[in-house]
Amino acid sequence: MIPTTNPTSTSIYKILIAIKSGNAIIGSPHPNAAKCTFAVFDILRKAAEQAGAPSGLISCMEIPSIEGASLLMKDPRIAMILSTGGPGIVRAAYSSGNPAIGVGAGNTPVYIELSANLEKAVRDVITGKSFDNGLICSSEQTLISDKKIYDTVKKKLAEYRAYLTTAQEKEKLQSLMIKNGKLNVDIVGKYAVQIAEMAGFSVPRGTKILVAEVKEIGPGEPLTQEKLSPVLTMIAADGPSMAIRRANEVLNYGGLGHTAAIHTNDERIAVEFGMKTPVSRVVVNSPAVHGAVGKSSSLMRSLTLGCGTEGGNSISDNVSPLHLINRRRIAWETNPVNPTSLASAITDEHVSIKGNYSRFDDAPAKKSQPAVYGESGISGQQIDQIIEAFRRKR
């Protein structure tokens, strides 16, 4: 299932992880992004087949529909559904009768704490929020600044080409972006300058993001929901405890289980923030977008991010090829139920065979014979086994 918000990057990523894990893939595009989704699948299909891939390895529904997607998900020949989109399509995938991995929406809070490197923190927030015009699900949505540095943060934002709206401009922006409590799809992925013009006010050329100050989080300030655009809301917090409460309010307004970010030089506060926010990943001192997808962090590099049970998903990982393979495990007895003489029960044949086989190799790799000790010829590995068994019995 391919979303409408970032169809090309999601399509490329899902195709790559499917092929890497030895699977064929069928794309089911969102109707509003059908042409670009099909184009991506077609380009990669041709490239793969020219490189020797079998015909049909990569395919895509040319005429997307709800009925077609439903039939595809329920087909017994489908081994796994990888669903990216809104709650409806994710629920449909989980209720299809086939195994499914669904990933949810984000509404990322970012906290700039008192000890943070303000220069870097502000630049990181703008970098993350403006990347791909705010379409990435881990993009910063609401900036929570410590009250003591709030005005300084605002000045830094302006220095790096963020435009702070006036109260009147904020009202115009909200009227444009929010229709009946929901995001107006006409502004999704637009540039900051374009959105300002659509709202009825002008901003300097080269403006990267629009910033609107808010007094609370939630339906009373509907701009604090996920915005899928280079628009950021901003609120003050008097200390870490209040900031954590604010972050939780943001997450409970449509981002549970996804991502939160913090800028701080106090490791204790970073850990506390991470432990008290219901998310699957906490990005520290980095743009939230780049950290969450593993570009600027040690997380698995991925464009498909699970939200765990808090977000209604089956996994909280960054989805990778490892999630699309079955593993077969051969379990040798290590704690005998009916023990015999441990030394005589373990033979060189057992030792040389164990762990030698790989499901991806045509034949087991050759392994040198273990060293032997004493007149009986017992191996070092056998000695280790006997010592371990003795240790467990103590």
Parse the chain into domains and list their residue ranges. 7-103, 108-300, 342-393
Tell me the pLDDT tens digit for each residue of 222-240.
Answer: 999 999 999 999 999 999 9
**CA proximity to 259, closest of 328, 308, 200, 188:** 308
Answer yes or no: is pLDDT of 392 > 90. Answer: no
CA distance 216 to 234: 10
Mean pLDDT value across the chain: 92
> What's the CA gap between 111 and 338, in Å, rounded?
58
Mean pLDDT computed over 119-131: 99
Q: Rounded to two decimals, what is the model's pTM?
A: 0.84
pLDDT score of 360: 47
Of 60 and 379, more confident: 60
Reported as a single tens digit per residue, the pLDDT across 364-377 is 555 555 555 555 56
Closest CA to 14 of 356, 23, 225: 23
Q: Is the pLDDT of residue 391 over 90?
A: no
Is 137 among the catalytic positions? yes
Band of pLDDT at residue 81, cut at 50, 70 and 90: very high
Give the model's pLDDT for residue 364.
52
| Predicted confidence (pLDDT) at residue 283 exceeds the cutoff of 50 | yes
- Tell me 308's DSSP state: T
Q: How confident is the model at residue 384 (pLDDT cuts 50, 70, 90)?
A: confident
What pLDDT score was predicted for residue 359? Answer: 47
Alpha-carbon distance 285 to 118, whole Å?
10
297 with 283: CB under 8 angstroms? yes
Residue 1: pLDDT above 60?
yes
Q: What is the DSSP letter of 53?
A: P
Which residues make beta-bridge pairs with 213?
234
The architecture CATH gives domain 7-103: 3-Layer(aba) Sandwich (3.40)
DSSP for residue 106: -
pLDDT at 380: 74
Give the pLDDT score at 348: 58
Q: Span 8-37, mean pLDDT?
A: 96
- Does the domain at 108-300 match CATH 3.40.309.10? Answer given as yes
Comparing CA positions, the residue from 219, 136, 210, 218 lying closest to residue 173 is 210
The encoded tokens of residue 149 equal 């540095």
Q: How far apart are CA 349 and CA 224, in angstroms?
A: 65
pLDDT of residue 188: 96
H-type alpha helices, the chain: 7-20, 34-50, 66-74, 87-94, 118-130, 150-159, 167-177, 192-199, 240-251, 267-275, 288-292, 342-345, 348-353, 380-393
Which of these, 258, 334, 212, lies nearest to 87 by C-alpha position? 258
CB 31 within 8 A of CB 48: no
Summarize pLDDT for 185-226 with one digit per residue, the tens: 999 999 999 999 999 999 999 999 999 999 999 999 999 999
Q: Are 139 and 108 in contact (CB under 8 A)?
A: yes
The pLDDT of residue 97: 96
Which of these ranges, 288-302, 333-347, 363-377, 379-393, has the smallest mean pLDDT?
A: 363-377
> Which residue type sits at 110?
V
Residue 342's pLDDT band (cuts 50, 70, 90): low
**Rounded to an integer, what distance in angstroms lies between the CA atom of residue 384 and that of residue 207?**
66
Report pLDDT for 340.
74
Residue 129 has a pLDDT of 99
